[in-house]
Amino acid sequence: TITPDSRSAGMGDVGVALFSPDANSGCWNNANLLNAEKSSGFSISYAPWLRQLVDDVGFSYLSGYQKVGKRGVISGSFRYFSLGNIQFTDFEGAPQGSFNPNEFAFDAGYALGFTKQLSMGVNLRYIYSNIVGSGIRNGIDYNAATSIAGDISLLYKTEMRIGGKKRKFNLGMNIQNIG
């Protein structure tokens, strides 16, 4: 749920129906990538996380897209979240080593335009979460977690006359992390 781009974060996480989509739009609504001005694009970002509390936690994001044909777009992204260095202790507080927990996700997506107004997109996501490392700690056997999830997104563009002027509207929907 961490916003990967400052533009959408600055607008209250409303990237689902942007009028000028960019390479980060695959995170919010893959179907909107069909409306991107350029035929391809990429984005890379890094954000320190909770930097007032710790200096080694951060979120990195890499995304891109490529239009294929007149009505298709392929996209992909990689998210990486480093949770810094964690010091482990036993029940009495004795040191038991340290670990650098992290999580990442790979996305692959495709969007298709049915008409000039209606498009649909799908993403498939592989998720890896390694919060405590592998091994036995305090008698509990820990392993990294993996999962697969998907997104389904729709975008409908229309124009209406309001007050005698043409107004453009984008209506977007994204159901995320199905799985």
Tokens of 129: 């979460």
Mean local confidence (pLDDT), 108-132: 95
- The mean predicted confidence, pLDDT, of the chain is 89
The pLDDT value recorded for residue 1 is 66
Is pLDDT above 80 for 11? no
As a whole-number percent, the residues of the chain with pLDDT over 70 amount to 98
Looking at residue 56, its pLDDT comes to: 85
pLDDT grade for 19, boundaries at 50, 70 and 90: confident
CA–CA distance, 122 with 115 (Å, rounded to integer): 17
Q: What is the pLDDT of residue 92?
A: 86
- Does the structure show a pLDDT above 80 at 136? no
Give start and end residues of each alpha helix (H) in 41-146: none
Distance of alpha carbon 46 from alpha carbon 170, whole angstroms: 29
pTM of the full structure: 0.83
Write the CA distances from 36 to 33, 41, 50, 137, integer angstroms: 5, 9, 33, 49
Q: Is the pLDDT of residue 139 over 90?
A: no
Query: For residue 149, is pLDDT > 70?
Result: yes
Query: pLDDT value at position 49?
Result: 79
Alpha carbon of residue 28 to chain centroid: 7
Token digits of residue 31: 């179907």
- The answer, yes or no, to whether residue 13 has pLDDT greater than 80, is no
